[in-house]
C-alpha cells in the first residue's frame, strides 16, 4: 500500500474503514455467536474505537490480540473461544481476511454449512489466468492444467478443535510454508470442500484495489 500510515484494513473506502465493511457482512448473519476481530496489540484500542463509532449493534463483536502469523492468529481466536467455555467438538470457526469486504451472505452461509458437513471448507474461484510454477523465479518449472486450478479466497471454515489439533502436529518447517489455513489439512491429507467464491470477493492488497473497492461501492461495476 505504498506509504500508508495504517495497515490496509484501516484505510477508508466508501467513507468507512475497510474492516468495518467486512465486519458488517458477518453482523447480519444470525448464525454467529460472536465475531472475534484479531488485530496487532498496538491496534487494539483503535479497532475498538472504530467499531463503537461505526457499528451500532456491536454487542457480539470482541477485539482480541492476534499472533505473529495468520495461523497463530487463528489459534488465538480458538483459545479465546475456549477461555469463554464455548469450545466443543462441533464448534465451527469461519476465518476471514479483514481486507475482503465484499464477501457475500451466500458465501458465508455455504461456509457454515459445508464446514459442518465436511469439517473444513475453502472459498475458491476458478483460475482465469494460466498458473505458472517456477522453482527458481527465473524459468518455468511447470504449468499445471488450468481446469484443475483455483484461486483461494476466504472465508476458510473449520471445526475449530480439529483445526487446532492438526495445526499443533505440524513441524516448524511445515508451519513456515503456510499462506492460508486450508493447507494445514492438505499437509495432513485431510479433505477440504470447495465453496464457490466470487470474483468480486477481492483482497485489498494494492492501491489499485482501493480504487476498485470504491468503484464497487459506488455501483460502478465496470471497473
Ligand X SMILES: C[C@](O)(CO)[C@H](O)COP(=O)(O)O
Binding of ligand X by 203 (CB under 6 A)? yes
Give the residue, chosen from 7, 14, 67, 152, that forms a contact with ligand X under the rule CB under 6 A. Answer: 152
Q: Which of 11-19, 40-48, 85-93, 152-160 is the region at the interface with ligand X (rule: CB under 6 A)?
A: 152-160
Contacts of 53 by beta carbon, 8 Å cutoff, 6+ apart = none
Q: In 3-state terms, what secondary structure has residue 150?
A: strand
Decide: is 98 part of the binding site for ligand X (CB under 6 A): no
Nearer to ligand X, 47 or 73 (CB): 73
Question: Which residues, other chains included, contact 13 with Cβ-Cβ below 8 Å and sequence gap of 6+?
Answer: 21, 101, 204, 210, 213, 214, 217
Q: Report residue 35 CA to chain centroid gap.
A: 13
**In the complex, least distance from residue 12 CB atom to ligand X, rounded to whole angstroms:** 20
Question: Which one, 153 or 157, has the nearer CB to ligand X?
Answer: 153
> Which window, 47-55, 105-113, 146-154, 190-198, contacts ligand X (CB under 6 A)?
146-154
Identify the CA nearest to 95 among candidates 83, 108, 104.
108
Do residues 114 and 158 lie in contact, with contact meaning Cβ atoms separated by under 8 Å? no
Of all residues in the shown chain, the one whose CB is closest to ligand X is: 180
List contacts with ligand X (CB under 6 A).
70, 97, 152-154, 179-180, 203
Amino acid at each position: 500500500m505504498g506509504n500508508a500510515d495504517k495497515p490496509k484494513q484501516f484505510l477508508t473506502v466508501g467513507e468507512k474503514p475497510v474492516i468495518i465493511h467486512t465486519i458488517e457482512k458477518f453482523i447480519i448473519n444470525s448464525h454467529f455467536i460472536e465475531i472475534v476481530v484479531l488485530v496487532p496489540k498496538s491496534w487494539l484500542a483503535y479497532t475498538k474505537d472504530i467499531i463503537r463509532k461505526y457499528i451500532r449493534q456491536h454487542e457480539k463483536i470482541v477485539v482480541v490480540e492476534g499472533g505473529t502469523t495468520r495461523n497463530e492468529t487463528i489459534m488465538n481466536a480458538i483459545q479465546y473461544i475456549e477461555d469463554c467455555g464455548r469450545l466443543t467438538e462441533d464448534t465451527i470457526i469461519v476465518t476471514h481476511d479483514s481486507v475482503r469486504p465484499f464477501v457475500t451472505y451466500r458465501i458465508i452461509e455455504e461456509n457454515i454449512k459445508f464446514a459442518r458437513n465436511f469439517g473444513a471448507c475453502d472459498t475458491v474461484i476458478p483460475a482465469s489466468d494460466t498458473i505458472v510454477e517456477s522453482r527458481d523465479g527465473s524459468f518455468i518449472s511447470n504449468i499445471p492444467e488450468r481446469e484443475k486450478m483455483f484461486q483461494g479466497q476466504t472465508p476458510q471454515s473449520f471445526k475449530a478443535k480439529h483445526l487446532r489439533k492438526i495445526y499443533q502436529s505440524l513441524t516448524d518447517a511445515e508451519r513456515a510454508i503456510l499462506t492460508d489455513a486450508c493447507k494445514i489439512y492438505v499437509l495432513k491429507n485431510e479433505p477440504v470442500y470447495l465453496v464457490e467464491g466470487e470474483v468480486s470477493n477481492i483482497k485489498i492488497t494494492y492501491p489499485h484495489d482501493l480504487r476498485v473497492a470504491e468503484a464497487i461501492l459506488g455501483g460502478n461495476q465496470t471497473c
